[in-house]
Structure 1
Amino acid sequence: MSVYSKKVIFERGKILNIDMLKELQESSKDFFRIKYHSYSNGIIEGFDFKYDRNGNLKLNPGILKYKEDFYILRDEITIKTIEEFKEERKEKILFITLMPQVLIIENNIEIKSLKLEISEKLIEESLFLGSFVDRVNHPPKLDYENIESLNDKIYLNVLDRVYGTIDGEGMTPLIGKLLLEKFLKKETLSIIEMYFFNKGVNNKPIPKKFISEYLGDISIEKNLFEEFLYKILAKTNNEYFVKKIPEIKKEEKRKKEWKSEW
């Protein structure tokens, strides 16, 4: 077995043959297969939401792995236009998902696809991208103020997204990014908190198993991401409060001493 390098040579006046076209196709597919071979199923890059200059909600291009196959979204998708957000309707939760389609074959090319769906119910076989409460003239917010915002209904909810990582199923990069606010208030960080800190700085998802380890004796299979968030908040808020108690008491003592001097 040899390790080799192949390069398609383009010559003036020559027509691309079948072998050259096949090599061009396979080389790009090999890149994804090799780079993300050990990744779990889930979003690998992209698929972020944004508003364009006109206020339309859009989904950015991205790469994901689903049942060991790689899928690429090459262009932006409009989720809802600003005009649609102004339409009169009942307040309800809308789910944005990708739904596997029936395999088709065109010109000897096998095509597997995932179709974007917006529905009032979460379909069992679909891939969750996000959800929001559909309110008239109130598009969901995307700029999360803090980690508590991830479960606030005025924001677009991406908490239950599944990300593919080399260390197994991961949670949204926003967990690490928004935890920075908590960690910056601490004098020292544990090794695992430093790991979360670095993930947040680099906007990378945190594998579920490390969050489980951080929380202590938590079953990965039996906990939804929302439960993980509640436990993370309980842990970080409690640690911050415990750390602050001596400082509060010290400040109160100083004030009493200052008053007694007068």
Structure 2
Amino acid sequence: MKTRIEVDDSLFANQYPHFQKGRILKREMLENLRDFPREFLDIYFQDYSNGIIAGAKITVADTLLIISNGIMKHNGSLYMLTDSFELPYEATGNETILKVRFAEEVNDLDFSKHTSQIVLDDSLELAHNELELARFKLKLGAKLRSQHIDFFDFATEFNTVNYLHCQYAGLQKSTYHPVVLQYFARELLKNRPTNPYDIAFAMECINQERVQRDAIDFYICNRLELDYQSLTNSQIHKYLNRILMEAKGGGRMKGLSQGRPKRVIVD
């Protein structure tokens, strides 16, 4: 007995309007152009957490922070910065956070508007409508820099753009900024690691646009033989730096014993 397959036009589909001379421009044709890219992005990123989806890179020019165009997600909505944005900054000696502050939805007859502001704030707390892009602590008379010397430099306290606490969107929960992971991976691979965990993770960091949070936690805990735990952003950088120092030194630093003095008992 043959099974009959019913075709339903409401399933997976791709419909694109034809704009041809002599044909009437219909409302449905314009709605198709309006809705397709928005629906595509919403579906593609529906399982992602709040945070940066793409772009929003930071460079420093004299007394300006330049945030490149990019996409962010907040409370289920996607926000696009279509042109780079310049924000003046000054030295205060205090830790300052570069934040995106999201406004309440505004509705009028023509649009539903979701807007935001990019601000510098000395408050280290994030409100429910704020996301962190980066932070820095600039001494009076010093220059701020956005280029990093090496992986450890991302944790430099003064005069350096710090991405370690940035919220980067990942599946279900935010993940680590790929710029930091790529620095780690390149430095690690230059030292010709032999540990299979190191090789696999480093290649993942270089090949993928983002590495999911669980993959980072599992790599660090397995690599350092720690009990599995959800690591903070600061812990991730600390442990990755430990792995990198081990690779550069050719030694082995197991678990949490790094830095503890070895005791030799002489009988």
TM exceeds 0.5?
yes
Name which of 116, 123, 127 aligns with 1:124.
127
1:164 aligns to 2:169 (yes or no): yes
How many Å separate the matches in 2 of 1:91 and 1:74? 32
How many Å separate the matches in 1 of 2:166 and 2:92? 25
Q: Is the 8 A contact 1:43 1:64 kept in 2?
A: yes
Quote the residue 1:181 is aligned against.
Answer: 187
How many Å separate the matches in 2 of 1:232 and 1:70? 31
How many Å separate the matches in 2 of 1:92 and 1:15? 62
Residues 92-115 of structure 1: CA distance to partner in whole angstroms, max 9, x if unpaired? Answer: 222111112121012242112222
Quote the residue 1:235 is aligned against.
Answer: 243
1:41-56 maps to which residues of 2 (within 5 A)? 41-51=50-60, 56=64
How many Å separate the matches in 1 of 2:63 and 2:250? 43
1:8-157 maps to which residues of 2 (within 5 A)? 8-12=17-21, 16-51=25-60, 56-80=64-88, 85=90, 90-122=92-124, 123-125=126-128, 126-153=130-157, 154-157=159-162
Q: Is the 8 A contact 1:96 1:130 kept in 2?
A: yes
Quote the residue 1:219 is aligned against.
Answer: 229
* Displacement after TM superposition at 1:60 (Å): 0.4
CA RMSD of aligned residues (A): 2.6
Gaps of 5+ in 1: 245-262
Change (3 A) 1:15 1:199: farther
Change (3 A) 1:121 1:37: same
Change (3 A) 1:185 1:167: farther
Helix, strand or coil: the match of 2:192?
A: coil
How many Å separate the matches in 1 of 2:22 and 2:83? 33
- Give the TM-score normalised by the residue count of structure 2: 0.77
How many Å separate the matches in 2 of 1:152 and 1:130? 13
Helix, strand or coil: the match of 2:175?
A: strand
Relative to its length, the structure with more helix (as a share) is 1
Helix, strand or coil: the match of 2:39?
A: helix
Q: Is the 8 A contact 2:47 2:171 kept in 1?
A: yes
Helix, strand or coil: the match of 1:165?
A: coil
How many Å separate the matches in 1 of 2:134 and 2:103? 19
* Displacement after TM superposition at 1:167 (Å): 7.1
Identity %: 16
Gaps of 5+ in 2: 1-7, 222-226, 253-267
How many Å separate the matches in 2 of 1:199 and 1:116? 31
Q: Is the 8 A contact 2:54 2:72 kept in 1?
A: yes
- Partner amino acid, structure 2, of 1:185: N
Quote the residue 1:253 is aligned against.
Answer: none
How many Å separate the matches in 2 of 1:138 and 1:71? 34
How many Å separate the matches in 2 of 1:186 and 1:166? 31
Number of residue equivalences: 235
